[in-house]
């Protein structure tokens, strides 16, 4: 069973990137399933830290992007919107090049809060980061 309020559209998500951090980091939504949202990000000069590794903050930005977008796709945005309250990440393995792929899946989709887990893998499908984001579901009228 799908977690989405209405069927998501990858083209519409691509248009929302314009003039945002998502565009600057070249985060691209790549796949939507009934219960997951997937996006990729390059490991390059915009996402590396000074030692040549993927910056942990870039991984968190990818995770927060996936979780926030997914949460908003799971609500009626004419009545509600979701904003991040807390995010954490465990960085498990370094990445020096290529692209990383994050997959977000819901742990809880409630009326006041949502919790999403995002697993980020490298091109060899090794788990490099696991993150969890908690979001508040707010009334649009507020």
Q: The domain spanning residue 110 has which CATH number?
A: 3.10.129.10
> Does 34 fall in a domain?
yes
Known catalytic residue at 86: no
**Torsions phi, psi for 30 (to 5 deg):** -120, -25
| Range(s) of the domain holding residue 93 | 10-139
User: Per-residue confidence of the chain (142 residues) as pLDDT tens digits?
Assistant: 899 998 889 999 999 999 999 999 999 999 999 999 999 999 999 999 999 999 999 999 999 999 999 999 999 999 999 999 999 999 999 999 999 999 999 999 999 999 999 999 999 999 999 999 999 999 998 6
> Does 96 fall in a domain?
yes
Annotated active-site residue in 11, 31, 64, 86: 64
pTM of the model: 0.96
Nearest C-alpha neighbor of 38 from the set 132, 104, 93? 104
> Does 88 fall in a domain?
yes
pLDDT at residue 142, as a whole number: 61
> Does 87 fall in a domain?
yes
pLDDT at residue 141, as a whole number: 83
> Does 3 fall in a domain?
no
> Does 127 fall in a domain?
yes
| Number of domains comprising the chain | 1
> Does 2 fall in a domain?
no
> Does 1 fall in a domain?
no
33 token code pair: 């399933």
């Amino acid at each position: 069973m799908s977690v989405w309020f209405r069927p998501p559209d990858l083209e519409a998500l691509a248009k929302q990137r314009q003039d945002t951090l998502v565009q600057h980091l070249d985060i691209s939504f790549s796949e939507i399933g009934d219960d997951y949202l997937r996006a990729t990000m390059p490991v390059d000069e915009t996402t590396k830290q000074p030692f040549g590794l993927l910056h942990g903050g870039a991984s968190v930005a990818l995770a927060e992007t996936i979780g926030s977008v997914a949460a908003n796709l799971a609500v009626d945005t004419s009545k509600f919107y979701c904003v991040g309250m807390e995010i954490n990440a465990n960085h498990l393995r370094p990445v020096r090049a290529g692209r990383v792929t994050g997959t977000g899946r819901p742990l809880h989709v409630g009326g006041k809060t949502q919790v999403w887990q995002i697993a980020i893998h490298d091109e060899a499908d090794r788990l490099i980061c696991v993150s969890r984001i908690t979001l508040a579901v707010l009334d649009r009228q507020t």
